[in-house]
Amino acid sequence: MVSEQDQNTTALEQFEVNSHDIEMYLDVVFNNHDDPIFVKDDECRLLLVNDAFCQVFNLTRHEIIGKTLAETVPPSERDHFLAIDRLVLDKGEAILSEETLTINGSETRVILTRKNRFIDGKGNYFIVGVINDITKRKLAEEELKLAASVFTHAGEGIMITDAKGSIINVNNTFVTSTGYSAVEAIGQKPNFLQSGIHPAEFYTEILQVLQSKGAWSGEIWNSRKNGEIYAEMLNISSVKDVNGKISNYVALFTDITPMKEHQSQLEHIAHYDVLTNLPNRVLLADRLSQSMLQCSRNMQTLAVVFLDLDGFKLVNDEHGHDVGDELLVEISIRMKAALREGDTLARIGGDEFVAVLTNLTRVEDCEPILDRLLLAASEPVTVSNVVLNVSTSIGVTLYPQDSVDADQLMRHADQAMYVAKESGKNRYHLFDTAQDDAVKIQQESLEAIRSALDNQQFVLYYQPKVNMKTGKVIGVEALIRWQHPCRGLLNPFDFLPIIENNPMSIELGEWVIDTALTQISQWQKMGLDLPVSISVNIAAVQLQQPDFTQRLTTLLAAHPNVKPCYLELEVLETSALDDVNHVSTTMLECIALGVSFALDDFGTGYSSLTYLRRLPANLIKIDQSFVRDMLIDTDDFAIVEGVIALAKSFKREVIAEGVETIEHGKALLQLGCNLAQGYGIAKPMPAHDVPAWVNNWRPDASWQL
């Protein structure tokens, strides 16, 4: 039986005998080695390379053998390679060198080359080298260095824990920010930094988010080693291993305490008055809105109190703004002390303050507070050895009695303050909601009339005037109407009183005159020849304008085809004419232009005889209130009879308004009044209906007997 040792000896002898096989085996080993291997002669020319070497340089053996490959690499690398080769040849020592290798002019690799010298039997020197491509390792090392540098020098604090939450590493910024050294922190749980500001639920939520999403980000307040509370912006991420299990947690944080402090300063500046440190207008608006909501929920009352110092401007003018500022600070302290806990005092500018008094059950509840505010402002204040005395005027409005929004409450309190100031100062005045409603309605009505005038919603209706005895139409009276888009056709009583003594009444009066003149021109073109005129009512405020004659001249000039005698202006006998002499002069100037005048509603005023004697009106109109009841009221009959006789005495024409029946006409004719107008003759009608009415109208036969 052959032993195992004998078998091995036999195989080795066979292997050594067959040199061809040895060479084949060596070639297989040489070319199947993963690392490039090369042999160079003493001229540094490549004599032998393996397949891995060819693959690295992407060259065939034909392109490599016999060359140094110096032409394929940059000169700096070439010189380094050759220097190492010569050093190996000269010293005969194995050299391990790290080199940068650029292949094909673009791809750069880092290689670790072990070179050694050997001498053959003929004394020739050769270099044998093995190349190890360490490019990936070097990149990994650089990345590790960079990561280590970032970790160490990062501006953010970094804390790494294991899967159970125990700290395993921290960086320098962590140490600087928290005051804890790495030794003190490692092994601890992160909760050793807790400040006590956040409830337990806050941290529970963080853990829940980390488990569900793998990351959490937000602001958190922690405590430094010295006990100081600081704010940080914290980002926590979970790190998983190759199996998807959490292996670590990484927390990065930035100390944002300075930013939070700056933000707090900005918020304070945005919400508080710089001088008095009281809430400003912005914070006041927010608190007032919140108080209004609470007031509504609790069925309570609140008061908005507007305060304006009396005499403060004089202090500024006499002593300067610095003294004025000190005075404001002192008074603001006193007034704030006069309020209750929960009330708000704000400075909204200059010497104006606003207080919001909450939790009131009755109006009277605010009176003691208002008295204290008056006292606080009126007590003497000494500034720089100067005794200063001011007071305050206070306006008050109550919510929800004054059921408006916050801005309107402020305005209403401001309005009430002006009433207090005009009433003598150093007092308070309660806003009158009923009066304000009336003012608001008045303002809305004025705006509506303004819109109607701008949008041409006014029209003129015309009521004929006739001679009952002769049966002739002597003219028409222009009566204004408002064609309201929602309410329909409105009579002048619905809107003219609103603009009485308002500049808009003058504009509307001129519109009536201009429209009437235009209508005369149109009727003339149609062949309708009215024997006398169109009469237009004119308000006292318009007639008393200093330039009335000039303005009327301009209106007449705009209608050159209309003779001025066709225009008659009716002046209300009830008008309060401040200067009768001036009005008389104006009327005479207008009469000189060709315009005539009538005295309307005669008998209803207090100056009938004065107006009749001093105003050059050619026609007197008996007010319809007397004519309407003259058949059943002896006093009215006597007034009508007296006016007719008075007109004849002053040699004036007379016309009766309000003729509603045939019997009215008969009675007037018997008294000597032939001219009339009224519903018994014709109602006011649109302009386009006038021509047909004029052509078809016939007086009652009994009037012409």
pLDDT, tens only, 475-504: 999 999 999 999 999 999 889 888 887 889
- Of 260, 292, 325, the one marking the end of a domain is 260
Domain carrying residue 682: 461-704
DSSP at 272: B
Residues 335 and 402 in one domain: yes
Mean pLDDT, the chain, whole residue set:
87
Residues 248 and 293 in one domain: no
Q: What is the CATH number of the domain that holds 349?
A: 3.30.70.270
- Of 431, 452, 481, the one marking the end of a domain is 431
Residues 247 and 299 in one domain: no
Q: Is 369 among the domain residues?
A: yes
Residues 122 and 158 in one domain: no
Residues 591 and 659 in one domain: yes
- The per-residue pLDDT for range 595-616, each reduced to its tens digit, is 999 988 776 654 457 777 788 8
- Cβ pair 114, 130 in contact under 8 A: yes
Residues 283 and 252 in one domain: no
Residues 469 and 397 in one domain: no
Q: Is 230 among the domain residues?
A: yes
Q: Is 148 among the domain residues?
A: no
What's the rounded Cα separation, in Å, for the pair 486 and 451? Answer: 14
DSSP string covering 135-152, please?
Answer: HHHHHHHHHHHHHHHHHH
Given a cut of 80, is residue 18 above it in pLDDT?
A: no
For residue 161, give the H/E element and its range.
strand 157-162
Residues 630 and 658 in one domain: yes
**Model pLDDT, residue 6:** 55
Residues 420 and 333 in one domain: yes
The CA–CA distances, whole Å, from 423 to 17, 223, 428, 533, 582 equal 137, 60, 9, 52, 36
Q: What is the CATH number of the domain that holds 250?
A: 3.30.450.20
Based on the structure, what is the number of domains in the chain?
A: 4
* Spacing of C-alpha 509 from chain mean position: 42
Q: Is 447 among the domain residues?
A: no
- The per-residue pLDDT for range 277-311, each reduced to its tens digit, is 999 999 999 999 999 999 988 889 999 999 999 99
Residues 283 and 376 in one domain: yes
Considering the chain, what percentage of its residues have pLDDT values greater than 90? 51
Residues 204 and 111 in one domain: no
Q: How many Cα neighbours within 13 Å face the side chain of 337? A: 9
Over residues 661-672, mean pLDDT: 94
What's the rounded Cα separation, in Å, for the pair 687 and 700? Answer: 24
Q: Is 270 among the domain residues?
A: no
- The per-residue pLDDT for range 22-36, each reduced to its tens digit, is 566 667 777 877 889
Q: What is the CATH number of the domain that holds 586?
A: 3.20.20.450
- Token digits for 500? 């009485």
Pairing assessment for the beta strands 37-41 and 125-133 based on DSSP bridges: antiparallel
The CA–CA distances, whole Å, from 228 to 193, 225, 231, 348 equal 11, 7, 10, 37
Q: Is 8 among the domain residues?
A: no
What's the rounded Cα separation, in Å, for the pair 471 and 697? Answer: 8
Which amino acid, one-letter code, is at 328? L
Kindly indicate the confidence band of residue 15, based on its pLDDT and cuts at 50, 70 and 90. Answer: very low
- Of 260, 292, 322, the one marking the end of a domain is 260
For the chain, what is the largest distance between any 2 Cα atoms, rounded to a whole number of angstroms?
A: 180
Q: Is 446 among the domain residues?
A: no
Q: Is 142 among the domain residues?
A: no
Residues 465 and 419 in one domain: no
Q: What is the value of pTM for the model shown?
A: 0.49
| 36 upstream amide cis, omega within 30 of 0 | no
